[in-house]
A = this chain, B = another copy of it.
Amino acid sequence: MAAAPAVDPGPRLARLNADYARAIDDDRLEDWPAFFTDPCLYSITSAANVRQGLEVGVVYADSRGMLRDRVTALREANVYERQAYRHLVGLPAILGEAGGAVRSETPFLVVRIVRDGRMDLFATGRYVDVVVDEAGTLRFRERVVVCDSSRFDTLLAIPL
The answer to whether A90 touches B88, judged by C-beta atoms less than 8 angstroms apart, is: yes
The reply on A117 being an interface residue by CB < 8 A is yes
CB contacts (< 8 Å) of A118 on chain B: these are: 149, 151
The reply on A10 being an interface residue by CB < 8 A is yes
Shortest Cβ distance from residue A45 to the other chain B in the assembled complex, whole angstroms: 14
Q: Is the interface of A mostly helix, strand, loop or mixed?
A: mixed
The answer to whether B117 touches A18, judged by C-beta atoms less than 8 angstroms apart, is: no
- Closest partner residue, chain B, to A17 (CB atom): B91
Contacts A109-B86, A149-B117; A22 near B93 (Cβ below 8 A): yes
Give the number of times this chain occurs in the complex, counting copies: 3
- Tell which of A19, A22, A90 has the most Cβ of chain B within 10 Å: A90
Show the binding face of A for B, using Cβ within 8 Å: 1-4, 7-12, 14-15, 17-19, 21-22, 25, 47, 84, 86-91, 93, 97, 100, 102, 105, 107, 109, 111, 113, 116-121, 124-126, 131-133, 136, 138, 148-151
Closest CB pairs A-B (n = 4): A117-B151, A86-B124, A18-B91, A117-B149
